[in-house]
Amino acid sequence: SLEVGIVGLPNVGKSTLFNAITKAGAEAANYPFCTIEPNVGVVEVPDERLEKLAVMYKPKKVTPTAMRFVDIAGLVKGASKGEGLGNKFLAHIRQVDAVAQVVRCFADDNITHVEGGLDPLRDIEIINTELCLADIETVEKRLERLQKMIKGGDKKAQVEMDLLVTVKAALEEAVPARRVIDTEEKAALVRELNLLTVKPVLFVANISEAEVADPLDNPYVQKVCSYAAEEKAAVIAVSAKLESEIAELPSEEAKEFLAEMGLQESGLDQLIKASFKLLGLITFLTAGEPEVRAWTIKKGTKAPQAAGKIHSDIERGFIRAEIVSFDELMAVGSYSLAKEKGMVRLEGKEYVMEDGDVTYFRFNV
Ligand code: GDP
């Protein structure tokens, strides 16, 4: 399943943010993977389209899609050398699909910073260095193996070798592997190595409550943004403390509270949406009287595999998908009108699903 790991130096607000995530947690009954582990939080992915479909279909049930966040504590300088909980920490990161790094951008003299003063770029670099060092070790081991394979006459090994030599040189300059591995072909070549610095990264700038209306007024946030742009990483700014308070409010009160602060949505919702995008995921929708539901698929998924998310029988017996885009459906106001106007397409096995496809699968039992 698709998971985002939350990392960061001590005292930057990770646990506070993770608390907000678990408090806002999803209704476990709806999701098969909701076994309760203390460091895993499952959240529903907010999607305004579900509410609009619910108005149209008046279903018995509305089911959003969900994703998992894992709290990965214990990173300190020296983690790659096995200091502290270092090795365990790195093993945890290896299992997640993307990384959200909490960076402290709030000033508070009462809360010590492990590395001295407030300096988010230094913090980012400390973590980046540890991850690069761990990857160098992985790459070196693989290079030794590849050398033997090449001596043994394995021609394919040379391509991987060339790529890994470039990756290693980058890592030695503290440049994450993701900057070098920039095509799907290259990614496929090194996928099994499960490099830490290949994973997509989102920086979560933790700011003070007073700054949430205009995060860019915080100069540290600006710095994180320019750094992230170079690193092909995303950034969002939240106040972890505020989020953990909002997560305790009933949803109506939370909405009012956000409106008073001049905010469209909570930082947590921003985090969830940004993470979803970071993972390369899209949503397709199914709608009917029993249930209106969002389903998660990887960008590029074809219709039969998307059907397989609902049930393996539907994938196996797939005939066609009846599809109308959410926007077109809303524009005409009902499925039957969309059909009349020829907006409902019949798509076959090779159709690549798009975000917001309202879908009905036809299949043989
Ligand atoms: P972790 O070690 O990264 O998990 O950090 P914690 O979440 O435990 O936070 C460390 C301390 O910083 C706690 O005392 C939090 O209450 C405080 N803290 C977290 N977020 C904020 C914030 O946005 N503003 C302020 N002033 N304090 C915060």
Asked which of 2-16, 63-77, 144-158, 220-234 is least confident by mean pLDDT, the reply is 63-77
Closest residue to atom 21 of ligand 1, CA basis:
241
Report the candidate in 210, 8, 22, 225 with the shortest Cα–Cα distance to residue 127.
8
Is 8 close to ligand 1, i.e. is its CB under 6 Å away? Answer: yes
User: What is this model's ipTM?
Assistant: 0.93
Nearest CA-CA partner of 242 in 5, 23, 17: 17
DSSP H or E stretch at residue 120: helix 120-151
pLDDT band of 33, cuts 50, 70, 90: low
pLDDT (tens digit per residue) in 171-212: 999 999 999 998 999 999 999 999 999 999 999 999 999 899
Q: Which residue ranges form the domains of the chain, and what is each CATH number?
A: 3-278 (3.40.50.300), 300-363 (3.10.20.30)
pLDDT computed for residue 353 by the predictor: 98
**Binding site for ATP: residue ranges?**
11-16
Among left, alpha and beta (phi > 0; psi -120 to 50; other), residue 231 is alpha
Q: Is the CB of 12 under 6 A from ligand 1?
A: yes
| Residues across the chain | 365
Report residue 69 CA to chain centroid gap.
9
pLDDT tens digits for range 73-129? 766 666 666 665 566 778 888 889 999 999 999 987 777 777 778 899 999 999 999
Q: Backbone dihedral region of 65: left (phi > 0), alpha (psi from -120 to 50 degrees) or beta?
A: beta
Cα-to-centroid distance, 311 and ligand 1 (Å): 43
Residue 116's contacts (CB-CB under 8 Å, 6 or more residues apart) are none
What pLDDT shows up at residue 32?
A: 58
Left, alpha or beta for 194 (phi > 0: left; psi -120 to 50: alpha)?
left
Query: 3-state SS of 322-353?
Result: EEEEHHHHHHHCCHHHHHHCCCCEEECCCCEC
Amino acid at 297: I
Ligand 1 mean position, distance from CA 176 (Å): 28
Burial of 50 (0-12, 13-18, 19+ CB in 10 A): buried
Q: Determine which residue's CA is closest to atom 24 belonging to ligand 1.
A: 208
Nearest-angstrom CA–CA distance, 291 and 285: 10
Is residue 64 lining ligand 1, measured as CB closer than 6 Å? no
Q: Residues annotated as binding site?
A: 11-16
Does ligand 1 have an atom closer than 6 angstroms to the CB of 106? Answer: yes
Mutate to test the pocket of ligand 1, among 111, 206, 245 (most ligand atoms within 8 A of CB): 111
Instruction: Answer yes or no: is pLDDT of 142 > 90.
Output: yes
| 1 has a pLDDT exceeding 70 | no
Atom 9 in ligand 1: residue holding the nearest Cα: 13
pLDDT at residue 73, as a whole number: 76
Residue 112 CA to ligand 1 centre (angstroms): 10
DSSP state letter for 357 = E
Q: How far is the CA of 129 from the centre of ligand 1 (A)?
A: 23
Question: Is the CB–ligand 1 distance for residue 24 below 6 Å?
Answer: no
157-183 mean pLDDT: 95
Q: What is the pLDDT of residue 31?
A: 61
Least confident of 83-87, 103-107, 240-244, 262-266: 83-87
Residues 6+ apart with CB under 8 A from 276: 45, 67, 296
Which residue's CA is the nearest one to ligand 1's atom 14?
111
pLDDT in tens, 321-347: 999 999 999 999 999 999 999 999 999
pLDDT at 84: 54
Q: How much distance in Å is there from the Cα of 17 to the middle of ligand 1? A: 8
User: What share of the chain has pLDDT > 70, as a percent?
Assistant: 92
Q: Report how far ligand 1's centroid is from the alpha carbon of 245 (Å).
A: 13
Q: How far apart are CA 334 and CA 356, in angstroms?
A: 16
Closest C-alpha to 3, from 35, 40, 32, 46: 40
> Could you give the 3-state DSSP secondary structure of residue 4?
strand
Ligand 1 atom closest to the CA of 16, numbered from 1 = 7
- pLDDT band at residue 36 under the 50/70/90 scheme: low
Q: What is the pLDDT of the chain when averaged over all its residues?
A: 90
